[in-house]
């Protein structure tokens, strides 16, 4: 098992990098001791590497040590970049900056939030990303790119218990937010500052998201739940979800469809692939052209960690085809995690990132094993293989994410094993009709409103009915659960032991069969 791990070096390297991040956030938060220890470990690692670099068998372990140190240092640097704004903490100042996200109604329903890039606090020039909360509906007049000047108290996100024992500071940092401000005293102006390429790219994605969201509102304006769900599935925008619908989807185990993830990327990829193949484009040309499309879509989803993971894995797959190299999905998964955490190491503490990574890893490892145990279903006419695949993937997701969902959301549901048997196909049908609606609405709104939206509305209603029906079956879920981190180590430890034991038993059986065949 250890040799197999070394053969997949990306897995080992990513784990080492993650351990460096975890060690810093748990043991040495904001201390000069951390810098001293980092320098000491780095020097020791370099000397060790130079001494035994000729031993190729040891090189992966040495490189892992260096990546552990890199992860430790990377999160220290990221946190240090946020520290200049903290000298204004708990003080009220005039702040000037640029709006980079559309106003969003918070889950409490009492105020709106926007993210902005500051460039001046009082008379001090300072560029940082902060979140502004405003309880004034007039804030909806704000547009991405607007200049806003406001007066408010700067607050550092607290390192304290937050839903499911999540640290609010880490949660905000995973979104690149360094500070929060509450205000109602603001002035909106046109912004003339020249933006960097990255800022322009972020704002472009935000504008496209806003355009699609507004179009979706117009198409499904007849029903608030259809309007909310259409934006949730297509854009991961849950701002219009009411509490009843949100809880129903959570209890029925289908809330994941409102977070742009691997399922959405697969559907998008297949849709583009079918369209370009229809026009008989060369396969290599298709793959090359899809890569920038995926990156553009990533900006529309505001670089959601789950979407970034899926996009990076797909890009690795496309590149492996283009350069004619074998594709290993597990290595691609850990590579995508590594890239995301290099960009922002605090993403490790994002609930979206953890759920996406856990569900994908669980599918890759356990779905084939479950599918093998259900091979008797192949004999069922017509639907046997489809049912076997759906059950394998659904059960794998439940195994991989149940503890995380219970830990963060306080809910455990087995409904997803059942509901996901058909939800994926409903979502696929939704996207097919939804894209047609978006394409034809600017050209002929009548056609969309009277014909094209009808099957899409039917699919949305089926999803909503599924959510409400299964959430009413209270014996299928448990709410109000409180778990500790120790229980997580035990849960995933047991899963790992079961998986390793199963693999070893299969290997013994395989060797016995081979020996019997030879004799």
- Range from 167-181, 447-461, 481-495 carrying the lowest mean pLDDT: 167-181
Q: CA 257 to CA 260: how far, in whole Å? A: 7
Q: Domain locations in the chain?
A: 2-81, 89-194, 224-483
Within 8 A by CB and 6+ apart from 133, the residues are: 106, 111, 112, 113, 180, 181, 182, 183
Residue pair 180/172 in contact (Cβ under 8 Å)? The answer is yes
Instruction: Please write down the HEC assignment for all residues of 197-232.
Output: HHHHHHHHHHHHHHHHHHHHHHHCCCCHHHHHHHHH
What six digits make up the tokens of 393?
């993937």
Query: Is the confidence at residue 298, as pLDDT, over 80?
Result: yes
Residue pair 434/230 in contact (Cβ under 8 Å)? The answer is yes
Length of the chain: 519
Q: CA 388 to CA 336: how far, in whole Å? A: 28
- Range from 245-249, 281-285, 393-397, 489-493 carrying the lowest mean pLDDT: 281-285
- Element spanning 144, H or E: none
pLDDT digits (tens, 9 = 90+) for 63-74: 778 888 888 888
- Range from 38-42, 227-231, 388-392 carrying the lowest mean pLDDT: 38-42
What is the distance, to the nearest Å, from the Cα of residue 270 to the centroid of all Cα atoms in its chain? Answer: 20
- Mean pLDDT of all residues in the chain? 80
Q: Which CATH number fits domain 89-194: 2.40.50.140, 1.10.3720.10, 3.40.50.720, 3.20.20.140?
A: 2.40.50.140
Residue pair 103/150 in contact (Cβ under 8 Å)? The answer is no
What is the distance, to the nearest Å, from the Cα of residue 466 to the centroid of all Cα atoms in its chain? Answer: 24
Alpha helices in 176-328 (DSSP H): 197-219, 224-235, 243-251, 262-278, 283-300, 305-322
What six digits make up the tokens of 356?
């996406």
pLDDT confidence tier of residue 5, bands split at 50, 70 and 90: very low
Query: Is the confidence at residue 422, as pLDDT, over 90?
Result: no
Question: Rg (Cα) of the chain, in Å, rounded?
Answer: 25
- Range from 134-143, 189-198, 327-336, 412-421 carrying the lowest mean pLDDT: 189-198
Q: CA 312 to CA 291: how far, in whole Å? A: 10
pTM score of the predicted model: 0.84
Within 8 A by CB and 6+ apart from 318, the residues are: 287, 288, 290, 291
pLDDT confidence tier of residue 226, bands split at 50, 70 and 90: very high
For 156, phi then psi, to 5°, come to -85, 130
pLDDT digits (tens, 9 = 90+) for 469-487: 999 988 888 888 888 878 8
* Identity of the highest mean pLDDT range in 56-60, 381-385, 479-483: 479-483
The vertex-482 CA angle with 481 and 487, nearest 5°, equals 110
Q: CA 288 to CA 286: how far, in whole Å? A: 5
Query: Is the confidence at residue 164, as pLDDT, over 70?
Result: no
> Which residue did the predictor score with more confidence, 433 or 323?
433
Q: Are strands 112-121 and 104-105 parallel, antiparallel or unpaired?
A: antiparallel
Q: Are strands 477-479 and 411-413 parallel, antiparallel or unpaired?
A: antiparallel
Residue pair 182/153 in contact (Cβ under 8 Å)? The answer is yes
Residue pair 349/170 in contact (Cβ under 8 Å)? The answer is yes
């Amino acid at each position: 098992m250890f040799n197999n791990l070394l053969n997949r070096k990306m897995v080992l390297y990513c784990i080492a990098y993650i351990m460096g991040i975890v060690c810093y956030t748990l043991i040495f938060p904001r201390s000069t001791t951390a810098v001293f220890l980092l320098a000491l470990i780095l020097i020791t690692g370099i000397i060790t590497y130079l001494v035994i670099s000729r031993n190729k068998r040891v090189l992966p372990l040495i490189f892992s040590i260096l990546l552990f140190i890199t992860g430790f240092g990377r999160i220290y640097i990221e946190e240090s970049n946020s520290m200049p704004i903290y000298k204004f903490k708990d003080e009220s100042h005039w702040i000037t900056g640029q709006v980079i996200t559309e106003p969003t109604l918070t889950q409490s329903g009492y105020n709106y939030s926007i993210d902005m890039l500051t460039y001046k606090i009082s008379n001090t020039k300072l560029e940082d990303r902060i979140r502004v909360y405003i309880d004034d509906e007039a804030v909806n007049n704000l547009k991405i790119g607007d200049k806003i000047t406001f007066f408010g108290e700067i607050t550092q996100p607290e390192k304290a218990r937050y839903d499911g024992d999540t640290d609010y500071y880490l949660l905000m940092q995973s979104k690149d937010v360094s500070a929060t401000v509450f205000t109602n005293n603001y002035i909106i102006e046109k912004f003339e500052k020249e933006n960097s390429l990255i800022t322009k790219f972020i704002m472009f994605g935000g504008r496209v998201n806003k355009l699609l969201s507004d179009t979706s509102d117009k198409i499904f304006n007849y029903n608030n739940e259809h309007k909310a769900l259409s934006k949730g599935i297509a854009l991961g925008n849950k701002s219009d979800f009411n509490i009843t619908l949100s809880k129903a989807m959570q209890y029925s185990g289908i809330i994941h469809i409102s977070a742009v993830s691997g399922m959405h990327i697969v559907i998008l990829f297949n849709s583009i692939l079918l369209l370009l193949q229809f026009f008989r484009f060369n396969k290599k040309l298709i793959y090359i052209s899809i890569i920038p499309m995926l990156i553009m879509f990533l900006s529309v989803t505001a670089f959601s960690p789950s979407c970034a993971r899926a996009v990076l894995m797909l890009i690795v797959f496309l590149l492996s085809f283009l350069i004619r190299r074998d594709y290993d999905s597990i290595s691609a998964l850990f590579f995508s995690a590594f890239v995301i955490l290099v960009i922002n190491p605090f993403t490790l503490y994002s609930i979206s990132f953890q759920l996406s990574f856990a569900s994908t890893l669980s599918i890759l490892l356990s779905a084939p094993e479950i599918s093998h145990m259900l091979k008797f279903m192949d004999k069922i006419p017509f639907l046997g293989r489809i049912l076997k695949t759906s059950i394998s993937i659904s059960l794998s997701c439940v195994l991989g994410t149940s503890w995380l969902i219970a830990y963060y959301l306080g809910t455990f549901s087995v409904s997803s094993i059942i509901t996901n048997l058909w939800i994926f196909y409903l979502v696929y049908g939704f996207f097919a009709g939804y894209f047609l609606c978006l394409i034809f609405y600017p050209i002929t709104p009548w056609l969309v409103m009277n014909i094209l939206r009808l099957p899409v509305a039917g699919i949305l209603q089926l999803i909503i009915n599924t959510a409400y029906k299964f959430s009413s079956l209270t014996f299928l879920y448990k709410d109000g659960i409180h778990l500790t981190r120790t229980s997580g180590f035990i849960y995933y430890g047991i899963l790992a032991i079961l998986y390793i034991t199963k693999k070893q038993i299969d290997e013994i059986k395989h060797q016995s069969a081979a020996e019997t065949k030879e004799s």
